[in-house]
Structure 1
């Protein structure tokens, strides 16, 4: 079997349904092999930066690793920001880098780069370099296993292009791998004994959930625990772990008002599956006193908040134990009273343009819509206040926080879950560099709805320049007509300047089974943390 056939067979055995690629001369042999076997769908993007975020959206929405095939040199270099985001937000990507022939490096060969893996060493879980045919299969299996093991993340495999058309021997040499596994009973059981002791005299515990809880069985455990009368708060990554229809759900811990009141009156906060990063919590004014921190490993434990108790490893096993502990406990929370208080808080927020926009979207798009955000005004308000009703239906990049994310990631998300509606929330500044992927949307018939908030500005930066340096207009943008741009690709589109007009668009023009772009030129003057 030739190298390209080994790679294709590996994908098939691993139940890979889609491969995200941007071909070049070095990859063509593999591209042809994949194209000739239609049980693996290849998605060819228009730029590798967008390609990486498509794969990211696919992995987040599906919960499965996404496969990227890139060329050496500029192709590999263009996925750096996507790889950074995936590494720092625990997104499993398998990056298959079809490399040059290293023995010719130094001669001025096409896309020559010495030790390209070094570029990625601080933001991949592992790098594998296939030096000989006998290690190919083992390297691929090892890489997939590593990227799928908690803490999940990107893994790079470099394969020389000359190997694609070479015979791979039947006797395969294994590549050593020691991925981190979940903790065993020897760690969980003592932790649970200590946790039970801590909770003996506690009457107001709070459960704070993060992205690592985004599994169906874990969501059931959260419902079982909080159904005993505990409030449940989330980080941004944890939105949707359990439905916000639940009485015990009080939204994002970043939000002011009731969420902060709950934290302030809690006698212990049990944070599970969240990193509690500075930018997501402390910097947003989240104050936590008595903390019990549970995560997949100890990488983030103790970094921003002092812990009274912590455990790293198998979160599900810990939550099963916590569920048993709370079954025999009584708590003092008035959940119904807190819900009434929060309802009044949300009513008061309707005068704010950002909240009114988010409230309109929540009441007009289907509840199971996958909503993909990045860093723009509508997305910030959605991050704080949008109710989410299903797992993996709210995606926002919280690794390195890129602004060129939502459109491309929505394409990947829709590919992974084609039966669900999908909405990308874009800013004008972040959305324009992704607009080349409208061609990808049309080529593959991907029915994504794109909302572009066009305020002709990098508005967050404009606000900062005005408040910090007394400078106006330095962050203004010159934009195209987004409606005409979409129509040039054959995509239906409309523009509106008002919330009433936006509601009309979503109720009468958006059908969810075809691509659509709406340009919203209404004003959202400030982010939610400035209210």
Structure 2
């Protein structure tokens, strides 16, 4: 078989069912190998930028590596933002790129798409490599999946020269990679157990590492033994059902667009706790309100990445290991606690005012109408942050968002990736007018691939976050933040999707129900007032 055929077989052996991307001159051989493949589906993006977000959305929704296939040069550079988003949020993502003839790499002779592909992706990947012969492909694919599924998951990049893809080879696909859990140090587990047993007001903060480790069951079991409330970080949203009695919501109930003056927006529980167990939590700028969050000295931190232990807050006990394994070990050492103190405190803690768009409080309607297991993929927009704080989620991997890289254009393509993975579940994208237009061409992909997602488009004719910063810090001097937008309904319908427009709140629920039952992709434009904060 050829190198291209061998690659496809190696991907299939490692569980790949879906590839997102666009063909190019150096990758046509791979597309030919995919032509009649019985188990791998290809989803045709209209721009590699969006294709990378699709692979990211697939990975976030499934927990399995997302795969994006692009050509060299501009195909690769179009994926850089997607790589950055996946790298920042610890998402397993395999980028496969074509490359010029192997012997010509670095020659600067003027080949089409000639570029140092590995040099571009090195800062945004955990591992990258170029195949020098077709015989190397099985081992390189094995290494790529090993890196994505061992330790902290992050993107990897496999670079394949056009002549290597054409080579005949007798090499065989290697066995599927089986991830090995990183066991925690028993001595640190003992120290953590002792600290938590003596605490009268223990609190748990659950981050994205809890979701990655599939550790929701173990987290809840330990929380119930400790009778400890659970706060989640943005990346941890959904790791415990928001209607569980011990769920205390997000670390914040609203944010400012530049994360200044966040103190009053943070949960009061961390300051009341006498010990905190942080699970898979990096304490990022967003999660901590620009690090205005205050924690007690008794901090136990569990993370798969040793470098994260104590990076932003000093940890009295640092446990490097898989969150599922660490929580299981802690649970085995933990007697049941009396939760009377926390029950009394929480009953006397007033609920925060719910954040909403003036005149368009759509969050309660969305939660009432949408299925319990709906997958929501959010672009960077006001409604995203409001839903992050106030939209109840009941399962892991059901609220997808670019938490650290804050990449506009993410929402629609990430939703398409999730829908490709779960065709029978409701999938809804949340977008603002600025972010939507960055990847709106993927409506063509949605229609062609029959990925029937519903997009809620908040149109306030401005870049709200930037306008809010200009209002607060620059005396309302507005520069380059007001938008002239198309007629979104006509724009959407030109792709063959359903376009609906809502001018009043009472129109929203009927429009949402119509969109969900349309049997084709749909966009609901909500014409909202400008209320930048």
TM-score, scaled relative to structure 1 = 0.92
SS of 1:222's partner is: helix
Aligned to 1:265: 272
Spell out, residue by residue over 1:59-104, the C-alpha distance to the aligned partner (whole angstroms, 9 max, x if none): 0001100111110110011101111111111111111111111423
> How far is the alpha carbon of 1:511 from its aligned partner?
1.6
Aligned to 1:103: 103
Structure 2: runs of 5 or more not aligned: 255-263
Spell out, residue by residue over 1:33-76, the C-alpha distance to the aligned partner (whole angstroms, 9 max, x if none): 10222421111100010010000000000110011111011001
Spell out, residue by residue over 1:490-519, the C-alpha distance to the aligned partner (whole angstroms, 9 max, x if none): 111211122222122123443274311100
> How far is the alpha carbon of 1:349 from its aligned partner?
2.8
Contact 1:204 1:332 in 2 (8 A): no
SS of 2:351's partner is: helix
Pick from 319, 326, 349: which aligns with 2:327?
319
Given the superposition, is the C-alpha separation of residues 260 and 173 from structure 1 closer, same or farther in structure 2, using an over 3 Å criterion? Answer: closer
Pick from 464, 484, 501: which aligns with 1:478?
484
CA distance, structure 2, for counterparts of residue 484 and residue 336 of structure 1: 55
Aligned to 1:136: 137
Aligned to 1:156: 157
CA distance, structure 2, for counterparts of residue 22 and residue 317 of structure 1: 40
SS of 2:114's partner is: coil
CA distance, structure 1, for counterparts of residue 359 and residue 278 of structure 2: 29
CA distance, structure 2, for counterparts of residue 93 and residue 180 of structure 1: 15
Contact 1:277 1:300 in 2 (8 A): no
Pick from 507, 511, 518: which aligns with 2:517?
511
Spell out, residue by residue over 1:206-254, the C-alpha distance to the aligned partner (whole angstroms, 9 max, x if none): 1110111116851111221222321011001111111111010011112
CA distance, structure 2, for counterparts of residue 13 and residue 26 of structure 1: 23
Aligned to 2:371: 366
CA distance, structure 1, for counterparts of residue 272 and residue 468 of structure 2: 34
Pick from 243, 250, 253: which aligns with 2:251?
253
Given the superposition, is the C-alpha separation of residues 81 and 481 from structure 1 closer, same or farther in structure 2, using an over 3 Å criterion? Answer: same
> How far is the alpha carbon of 1:468 from its aligned partner?
1.3
Given the superposition, is the C-alpha separation of residues 6 and 517 from structure 1 closer, same or farther in structure 2, using an over 3 Å criterion? Answer: same
Aligned to 1:466: 471
CA distance, structure 2, for counterparts of residue 97 and residue 267 of structure 1: 50
Aligned to 2:126: 125
Aligned to 2:193: 196
Contact 1:247 1:335 in 2 (8 A): no
Aligned to 1:283: 290
TM-score, scaled relative to structure 2 = 0.92
| 1:21-40 equivalence runs, <5 A | 21-40=21-40
SS of 2:306's partner is: coil
Pick from 312, 323, 327: which aligns with 1:304?
312
Given the superposition, is the C-alpha separation of residues 524 and 180 from structure 1 closer, same or farther in structure 2, using an over 3 Å criterion? Answer: farther
Deviates more, 1:326-335 or 1:36-45: 326-335
Given the superposition, is the C-alpha separation of residues 306 and 404 from structure 1 closer, same or farther in structure 2, using an over 3 Å criterion? Answer: same
> How far is the alpha carbon of 1:395 from its aligned partner?
0.6
Given the superposition, is the C-alpha separation of residues 191 and 216 from structure 1 closer, same or farther in structure 2, using an over 3 Å criterion? Answer: closer
CA distance, structure 1, for counterparts of residue 174 and residue 369 of structure 2: 56
**Count of aligned residue pairs for this structure pair:** 518
CA distance, structure 2, for counterparts of residue 519 and residue 371 of structure 1: 17
> How far is the alpha carbon of 1:132 from its aligned partner?
1.9
Given the superposition, is the C-alpha separation of residues 329 and 92 from structure 1 closer, same or farther in structure 2, using an over 3 Å criterion? Answer: same
Pick from 391, 395, 418: which aligns with 1:413?
418
Pick from 384, 390, 399: which aligns with 2:389?
384
Spell out, residue by residue over 1:365-387, the C-alpha distance to the aligned partner (whole angstroms, 9 max, x if none): 22211011121010011111111
Aligned to 1:335: 343
Aligned to 1:94: 94
The reply on whether 1:274 has 2:281 as its aligned counterpart is: yes
Given the superposition, is the C-alpha separation of residues 392 and 354 from structure 1 closer, same or farther in structure 2, using an over 3 Å criterion? Answer: farther
SS of 1:158's partner is: strand
CA distance, structure 2, for counterparts of residue 48 and residue 158 of structure 1: 16
How large is the Cα RMSD of the aligned pairs?
2.4
Aligned to 1:112: 114
Aligned to 2:351: 345
SS of 1:424's partner is: strand
Contact 1:240 1:392 in 2 (8 A): yes
The runs of at least 4 consecutive aligned structure 1 residues that moved more than 6 Å come to 171-174, 256-259
Given the superposition, is the C-alpha separation of residues 224 and 135 from structure 1 closer, same or farther in structure 2, using an over 3 Å criterion? Answer: same
> How far is the alpha carbon of 1:201 from its aligned partner?
2.3
Spell out, residue by residue over 1:272-302, the C-alpha distance to the aligned partner (whole angstroms, 9 max, x if none): 0111112331416322123211111122222
CA distance, structure 2, for counterparts of residue 391 and residue 173 of structure 1: 31
> How far is the alpha carbon of 1:150 from its aligned partner?
2.3
> How far is the alpha carbon of 1:304 from its aligned partner?
1.4
> How far is the alpha carbon of 1:107 from its aligned partner?
1.7
Contact 1:35 1:42 in 2 (8 A): no
The reply on whether 1:218 has 2:215 as its aligned counterpart is: yes
